[in-house]
Every structure is written in structure tokens, then in C-alpha cells.
Amino acid sequence: MDILQIAILGIIASILYIILKDINKSFAFIIILVTGIIIFLAIIKQISIIFEMIQTLGQKANIEGLYMETILKIIGISYIAELGANLTKDAGLSSVAKYIELSGKIFILLLAVPIITAVIEAIVSFLPSI
């Protein structure tokens, strides 16, 4: 599925949502949810290609596999949290969306602590001892 098909699917789903939201709000939301899942499944192959490219770049730059894996996890968490937050916002639950966003940020911070620690240790090793 290319971007034109995805855009057309999104436009059709949006029009159906606008028409159906006053008639049957739950069915209109299901249309948006299913559309989001279809679009996500359509781009999953491209996402895996991007991950493979990032891993290849990391290997060429001699970056430890643990760091590359952590970076990929952080990217995945950010996209999943954004998708979940947007879906709950569409459902009219903005407070739940804020909690999803906060949870995503906490998980990202948790994964980033070892990287931050390694960077600080590297900086400290360059400083002259007193």
C-alpha cells in the first residue's frame, strides 16, 4: 500500500466518521480504530526496513548492540504511545491520552538511563583527576 492509498483510506474513514459520529458514535470510532490498524499494518514493512538501516549504521559506526537496541526500543515506545494517545483522544478521553503520553515518557526515560550513564562516565573519564 503506497502513500496515495493510505491517504485515500484516511480521507474516506474521516468522511465516514463525520457522517456517523452523530448517528452512532461507537461505530464511528470503530471505523477510525480499524483504519488506524490497517494503516499501521500497511507501514509495518517500511518500519522494519528503517530499523534494519539503523542497525546497519550502528554496526558501521561500531556502536554497541545494546545501545542500538535501546534506541530502537525508544523509537518504538514513542510511536506506540503516540498512537495510543491519539486513539484515546479520538474517543474523547483526553485525560487517558495524557496518561498514555506520560507513561511513554517514563518508559523512554527508564530505557535511556544506561545510555545517559555511559555518556556521563565517558565525559568524566576525559576530565583530569584532581
What confidence tens digit (pLDDT) does each residue in 14-51 have?
Answer: 999 889 988 998 888 899 889 988 988 888 888 888 87
Any idea where the domains of the chain sit in the sequence?
63-130
User: What is the phi-psi region of residue 64: left when phi exceeds 0, alpha when psi lies from -120 to 50, beta otherwise?
Assistant: beta
For position 50, what pLDDT does the model report? 83
Q: Is the pLDDT of residue 63 over 90?
A: no
Read off the C-alpha cell for 129. 583527576
What does DSSP assign to residue 128? P
Q: What is the pTM of this model?
A: 0.69
- With beta carbons less than 8 A apart as the criterion, state whether 32 and 17 touch: yes
Q: Is the pLDDT of residue 130 over 70?
A: no
65-108 pLDDT, tens digit per residue, is: 677 788 888 988 998 999 889 888 887 889 999 999 999 999 99
